[in-house]
Structure 1
Amino acid sequence: MKVKLILLLLCVGILGLSQNIYAQTNRTVSGYVMDASNGEALIGVTVLVKELNAGGVTNPYGFYSITVPEGEYTLIYRYLGYETIQKSVDLTEQNQRFDIRISEATEQLEEVIVTGERADVNVSQVAMSVEKLGIETITKMPALLGEVDVVKSIQLLPGVSTVGEGASGFNVRGGGVDQNLVLLDESPVFNSSHLFGLFSVFNPDAIKDVKLIKGGIPAQYGGRLSSLLDVRMKEGNSQKFSAQGGVGAIFSRLTLEAPIIKDKLSFIVAGRRSYIDVLAKPFLSDDLSNSVFNFYDLTSKVNWNINDKNKVFLSAYLGRDRFEAADLFGSNWGNRTLSLRWNHLASEKMFINTTAYYSNYDYRLEVGNPEEDAFDWKANIQTYSVKPEMTYYLNANNTMTIGARATLYEFAPGETAAIVAGQQLPPFGMPLMYGLESGVFVGNEQKVTDALSLQYGLRLSSFTYMGEATTLEYADAEEPGTRRQPIEGSEVVYDKWEPITTYSNLEPRFSVKYQFNELSSIKASYNRMAQYIHLISNTTASSPLDIWYPSTNNVRPELADQVALGYFRNFKDNMYEASVEVYYKDMRQLVDFVVGADLLLNTYLEGDLMEGIGRAYGTEWYLKKTRGKFNGWISYTLSRSERKTMGINNDEWYAARFDQTHNLSLVAIYELSKKWNVSSNFTLISGTPASFPSSTYEIQGYSPAHNPSNMRNNYRIPAYHRLDLSITYDPESKRRWDGEWVLSIYNVYNRRNPFSIYFQPNADRRPENVVTDNQAVQLSIIGSIVPSISYNFKF
């Protein structure tokens, strides 16, 4: 019934409006909005038709299109932090195109008061559960070792969390780290962390826009259950050469951008490299002097403005982490992405973007000396994709999006080579696996009345698991929650690219906004998501060596339905933004694991996998001050995330390993003067669940810890809380070179936050015939205060 209702609304909304679309002569005004200083396209600029109190916003490429009845109008372009521009247009005889360049406001507060324009996008837009952070805000926030971090910044927003320092990725509304679709210029990034989660792979000097969508996800996106993190790179300064970078305690960075042909062809190249191993070398023993501990990344983009109707963008990313301890062990992993996008204006109303990308995430582990005994393991996931998408600005009240996507996956779950006593053994491991994910979608954003707006769409997705492969069938487990064994004689051999099994899902999306007045609105959303690839990990937090695995004849895709309801209210001429949202997410066919599952290099891995259900629900409170010398926000999330799998936890609901009941974040940024800026973050989070023993038994003088009740995640580690401070000094040199010093203090009051707690026999000597008891050991990744100083420059 819900699917039929969505289809009916889609047809009525798009076709039923045709009776008044052409009742009078309409004209269209369109164009791009760019930063006057560097030519960067500006995302989300409000373009208002003053006489009609209607308009639109620029898309991710800075393009806008508004269709109105013929006449003379005043267009108002406004964007937070930039000057407001008014432009008179004559639309009595023909369509008009205006490419606008706007400059940053020199005195932002006064500009807003003088024009009287209100930054009320959070109230007026249909989309809910959307969080945007400008890179200007991110760079002012305190960070570990003074290094600005995109992923760490979004963890201070409502509904976003992590299980602790040293954990890769992030969790959104009770979902796993693999349930977030992370895009860098539309290319997926499968591991967004450097240095085991302490830093992200995104170079802040190369980033223009960061948007996180937690619910009400538009129809053009799919493939993950929880969220979309859309990171957009800068396009390169098309006006003049510029450079910026920084020297920090752990790594340095440099970014160069310049026009190749002014206003026509530009580029940006940004690089980072850590030097932990260089700093540590004097303190290492001779046998470890050749150790390598570092990471690096290189981000680049070329922007070619072919003509008024065609633009081409080529983006690339290369990053790697390396940890090698002489001849003892070595581990390295990294991402490579390449995306090519073509923007084409088919008409004043039709914007077409076609994207093709390649993404590769690989990881490797080496142990021992190749001349004696050694072990080498490597794995990766590669994707190739093409996505054409058309945006049609039907009229002032309707914007349609239509498109499709096809993605080819190649999975290499693990391949090993071993050397024993100097002799090479035959390689062994899991075979390559292939999958094809495709989808078609249609959506519309419709303004029904001045108060009521809708956003609805439909996505049809499918996934085909393909050969070359030999499939197996598995018998039912002897007891729920235990390993399943393959059925003898069930093997079926498939040739390369031969379809093995196909899954299809219909994914409706719907959002509605009712605006009471200029300062308040209520919104609701529903979306269904399907996820066809899975991160195979049963650790507290994902590691770089976890494997990605496709849906197969034995592993079904994960599904989720989420509903959300929110109230949005602004105060004092939009200086304060407030919102409260409640949500409920129902998840099915989630991948779970038997007790003692063997996940690496296991030919019969699917026998160790189980299928469970999940639910996540909560409320998110958010208060943000947007202007003035003092600004920042307070966010609080009260939530639960639970799982249920037959044979686990006595078949009862249990808390997911990333469940956090309370999550409080405070961010404060204060401009003391034009030269001095102070900021602070405070975080208080409930402890994450853990499986602790509830009893012991005696054997040969020892008392091993034991959990006879089979309860999973039956305790919680202590709460996590931390305060960070940062002071920035900018001497405001009038020369072309502009530099600033940043002093940051991470974990100001030296809190030893636990990452995990485990149990081991007490190491103290015991008298004869006295049983050795157990002791709980707390592991902290960063258990002390971390001061640092860094220098950032720009010219």
Structure 2
Amino acid sequence: MRFLLKFILSSFLFCLVKSSLVLAQTNEHVEGVIYEVSNNNPLPGANVYWENHAQKGVVTDLDGSFRLQKIDLPAKLIVSFIGFEETIRIINEKDLGKIQKFYLKESQLALEEVIIRDRRPDENVKSLDMGKSVVPIETIKNIPALFGEVDLLRSLQLLPGVQTAGEGTTGLFVRGGSADQNLIQIDGAPVYNPSHFFGFFSVFNPDALNGVEFYKGNIPANFGGRISSVIDISLKEGNYEKIRGEGGIGSISSRLTVDGPLFSENSSFVISGRRTYADMFLRLSSDPEIKNNDLYFYDLSGKFTFKLGEKDKLAVSSYMGSDYLGFAMQFGLGWTNWVSSVTWNRNISDRMFFDLNAYHSAYQYSIKLTDPDTGFDWGNRLSESGIKATWNFSPNEKTMVNWGVHSQLYNFAPINLDPTPGSAIEPIATNPRNGMQNNVFIGAATDVSDRLRVDAGLRLGIYQLHGKGVDYVYEGGIPSPDVAITDSLVYGSFQRIKGFEGLEPRLSLRYMLDDELSIKASYNRNFQYLQVASSSSAGLPIDRWILAGTYVPPIRGDQVSLGLFRNFNKDRWEVSVEGYYKDIKNVIDLRQGANILFEDNVEAEILTGNGYAYGLEFLLRKNSGKTTGWLSYTYSRTWRQIDGISFDQRYNPRFDRPHDLTMVLNHEFNKRWSAGLTFVYTTGQAVTFPVGSYEVDNQRLPLYSGIRNDDRFPDYHRMDASVTWKNVDRGRKWKGSWNFSIYNLYGRKNPFSYQFTEIYNDQVNFTPTMDNVVESRRPGVVMTYLFTFLPSVTYNFNF
């Protein structure tokens, strides 16, 4: 391993030195930026190519930028984008070395909100991407939403291979992985709890976002740390020429985003905010038990961008979101995310580009109970800081090489429970956990022939758990609640406790069978050095994150994918079929009856084992026309095998759902009216139902077998619909639209939970008292569902 590490570092340094000796900047490329003429937003995914050389064109990145190798000049440069008018410009030798700016105007036939325009039309077939989706914000905004709240993560649940924890939640389970196996980052900084309202909404305000890239198959070498997926989100860059804004007033929240030039035409800002007002409605109640409650969330984000010259750009971004739930000044629960990053982009030459990203992400929660007999304050905080440097080098139009380094520092503060004065509660405190991870990565993609393209990558992660902290020694060397702790090892700051190394190869191939049909294959290995120990599959604010250490090794995930991709009718339609198999090592799960919230030696409450998942994903998608959308079906299975659980036999985690069908349709009737429709159907989640009951102190309690998740909820299905009406565009600065949506159109009562309890007098909510005598008693099952027919209205505007 040491030899391999030296080899990789030597290769990295060689490439770095070589990059500085590249030929002088000879202006062999045309560089430019594509903007929307209506709002000066950068336009990612636009096609740029020379006339009669369309196959050698490029696609603009998330900043709307492109670099295209020159040909014999003068020549016609063509810029096109679905839904926009094509632009042609003659480029001469004198234009080289200058940043070309293009402003595209929307076509009169464009479907502004519903058209799928996230990439070039044939990218589905000709790119190397497998299991990747570039989700356009316009499409997300047009999908019918719960309470009218447009939601990024809930929109991703409509893609093949992605499943949800249950009704109304934003948790993602990707190709057999748990929610903590997804890396969700915003401008390069990870977000540890991406949800509001206990998972009903995600923390991302769509008005503040520029783009979303979602990887669930071939994850590039420059990403690491999670084994299932990467959700790479970028905040919107401000307008450099004029002030503008957009927002909305909805059923439970309102939002506003303002952007424009900051100091000059070389700097810009974006400020975005959103807040619910459910607590304001509570204040109107005459019932003191309701009036004195608090229930709200808010989020704020900002991004400041500075053009330091023709070759340098600096961006500073920050996000903060907070939730709070309080009952009559007696109980309070709150949690907060705060994420910040600084990114420097530099064009070293026409062939080489450099990105430097530094970030800090912090998450904390706090629970307070004011009862004089049992009151307490309970809180925890965790954070990750990092710096990442990436070089991209394009020696020719067929080859792209990237390499870099990434260092991460984890700090998981102690969990503290402090009793209030006079409380009978005993104080509880755990020890902190700290970790450091250093990564080196390199990747390259090239055309081996006209039909075959190959992308190979390698990532090396070196991780160590270090002090300040405590490590426990168990009798027999294996942690368990039934085993005595024989010693406690105390480590000072940055003293090494345990270390791991992981080499992560990647390989993907694309072979063109003809101009509209390709076959792709990929292999990925990823290591994950932190996990969540939780009894809830949906995810809770108090989830316990665990760093790899003496008794908990890192997860290793190996995934193989194979897919067939075909486009029809001049790329208006596309179809794909992807199959995958994922092998998972060292995954954790809780022991039966485990208590992990306040345990310092949490390793005694969990068990480690292996798992695997496989599936087949089908996608039919229509990209243009009056009606757009997609139909997807996924067949998948997920298994775990952990000694000590389910009699050492394999079992399904709760998010195993074999069948998943999704339909998304958008239709534009005319310039003023459009509509959206979604339908989802999934197999019910795996659960454990009792096999009998027993009595203790005259109370009947459920009896469970030792087999985990051997039962299922009923199948889940739901249809949502929305209609959007836009004001006529009369050239005014203020433009508005109304969105009317219905969640669960036909009122399906999908179960959220089941409670096995005693039913008195055949009444579910009967409470025995001196006046209410119990006349009958029987065991029963009470089903709880959250939403049936739920309408909402939102007014959206921009200026």
Q: Given the two structures, how large is their TM-score scaled by the length of structure 1?
A: 0.91
Instruction: State the partner residue of 1:114.
Output: none
RMSD: 2.9
Instruction: State the partner residue of 1:172.
Output: 174
| Paired letter, 1:228 | V
Instruction: State the partner residue of 2:447.
Output: 447
Distance 1:346 1:732 in 2: 47
Note the 1:136-535 alignment, pairs <5 A: 136-283=138-285, 285-369=287-371, 373-421=374-422, 427-475=427-475, 483=481, 485-489=483-487, 491-535=488-532
Note the 1:759-774 alignment, pairs <5 A: 759-764=756-761, 773-774=778-779
Superposition deviation, residue 199 in structure 1: 1.2
SS in 1 for 2:474: coil
SS in 1 for 2:239: coil
Instruction: State the partner residue of 2:714.
Output: 718
Out of 790, 793, 797, the residue aligned to residue 789 of structure 1 is 793
Instruction: State the partner residue of 2:636.
Output: 639
Render the CA deviation track for 1:519-547: whole Å, top value 9, x for unaligned.
Answer: 22111111001111111212242111112
Instruction: State the partner residue of 1:105.
Output: 106
Note the 1:562-641 alignment, pairs <5 A: 562-641=559-638
Out of 537, 541, 551, the residue aligned to residue 534 of structure 2 is 537
Distance 2:658 2:111 in 1: 41
Superposition deviation, residue 96 in structure 1: 4.2
The answer as to whether partners of 2:165 and 2:171 remain within 8 angstroms in 1 is: no
| Paired letter, 1:531 | Q
| Paired letter, 1:650 | F
SS in 2 for 1:152: helix
| Paired letter, 1:43 | P
| Paired letter, 2:458 | L
Instruction: State the partner residue of 2:739.
Output: 742
Instruction: State the partner residue of 2:680.
Output: 683
SS in 2 for 1:581: strand
Superposition deviation, residue 473 in structure 1: 2.4
The answer as to whether partners of 1:165 and 1:197 remain within 8 angstroms in 2 is: no
Instruction: State the partner residue of 1:778.
Output: 783
Superposition deviation, residue 627 in structure 1: 0.9
The answer as to whether partners of 1:586 and 1:616 remain within 8 angstroms in 2 is: yes
Note the 1:42-61 alignment, pairs <5 A: 42-52=43-53, 53-61=55-63
Distance change in 2, residues 1:769/1:62 (3 Å): closer
Superposition deviation, residue 346 in structure 1: 0.8
The answer as to whether partners of 1:38 and 1:239 remain within 8 angstroms in 2 is: no
| Paired letter, 1:459 | R
Distance 1:78 1:188 in 2: 34
Superposition deviation, residue 367 in structure 1: 1.3
The answer as to whether partners of 1:26 and 1:69 remain within 8 angstroms in 2 is: no
Instruction: State the partner residue of 2:770.
Output: none
| Paired letter, 2:783 | Q
Superposition deviation, residue 475 in structure 1: 4.0
Superposition deviation, residue 601 in structure 1: 1.0
The answer as to whether partners of 1:453 and 1:512 remain within 8 angstroms in 2 is: yes
The answer as to whether partners of 1:703 and 1:773 remain within 8 angstroms in 2 is: no
Superposition deviation, residue 185 in structure 1: 1.2
User: 328-337 vs 117-126, which deviates more?
Assistant: 117-126
Render the CA deviation track for 1:369-427: whole Å, top value 9, x for unaligned.
Answer: 4x66411111121111100111111111111111110011110251111025269x885
Structure 2 unmatched ranges of 5 or more: 113-118, 764-772
The answer as to whether partners of 2:416 and 2:428 remain within 8 angstroms in 1 is: yes
SS in 2 for 1:631: strand
Distance 2:46 2:254 in 1: 33
The answer as to whether partners of 1:458 and 1:509 remain within 8 angstroms in 2 is: yes
SS in 2 for 1:650: helix
Distance change in 2, residues 1:763/1:120 (3 Å): same
Distance 1:312 1:286 in 2: 52
| Paired letter, 2:36 | D
Distance 1:441 1:284 in 2: 61
SS in 2 for 1:655: coil
Distance 2:200 2:695 in 1: 41
Distance change in 2, residues 1:62/1:674 (3 Å): closer
Distance change in 2, residues 1:68/1:255 (3 Å): closer
SS in 2 for 1:132: strand
Distance 1:571 1:76 in 2: 24
Q: Given the two structures, how large is their TM-score scaled by the length of structure 2?
A: 0.91
Superposition deviation, residue 47 in structure 1: 2.7
Distance change in 2, residues 1:422/1:774 (3 Å): closer
Distance 1:786 1:769 in 2: 37
SS in 1 for 2:538: coil
Between the two proteins, the alignment pairs up a number of residues equal to 769
Distance change in 2, residues 1:451/1:541 (3 Å): same
Distance 1:59 1:733 in 2: 30
Distance change in 2, residues 1:49/1:485 (3 Å): farther
Distance change in 2, residues 1:172/1:422 (3 Å): closer
SS in 2 for 1:196: helix
Render the CA deviation track for 1:533-573: whole Å, top value 9, x for unaligned.
Answer: 11121224211111212111111111100011111111111
Distance 2:135 2:565 in 1: 18
Distance 1:785 1:753 in 2: 12
User: 78-87 vs 194-203, which deviates more?
Assistant: 78-87
User: 408-417 vs 75-84, which deviates more?
Assistant: 75-84
Note the 1:32-71 alignment, pairs <5 A: 32-52=33-53, 53-67=55-69
Superposition deviation, residue 214 in structure 1: 0.5
| Paired letter, 1:521 | S
Superposition deviation, residue 756 in structure 1: 2.3
Superposition deviation, residue 66 in structure 1: 3.5
Instruction: State the partner residue of 1:661.
Output: 658
The answer as to whether partners of 1:482 and 1:594 remain within 8 angstroms in 2 is: no
Identity %: 36
| Paired letter, 2:652 | A
Render the CA deviation track for 1:705-740: whole Å, top value 9, x for unaligned.
Answer: 2223x1100100011111111111112241211111
Render the CA deviation track for 1:65-115: whole Å, top value 9, x for unaligned.
Answer: 344676655433333333333334456x9964443323142235699xxxx
The answer as to whether partners of 1:182 and 1:229 remain within 8 angstroms in 2 is: yes
Structure 1 unmatched ranges of 5 or more: 112-116
Superposition deviation, residue 328 in structure 1: 2.3
Superposition deviation, residue 642 in structure 1: 1.0
Superposition deviation, residue 222 in structure 1: 0.2
Superposition deviation, residue 26 in structure 1: 9.7
Distance change in 2, residues 1:291/1:474 (3 Å): same
The answer as to whether partners of 1:109 and 1:627 remain within 8 angstroms in 2 is: no
Distance change in 2, residues 1:674/1:352 (3 Å): same
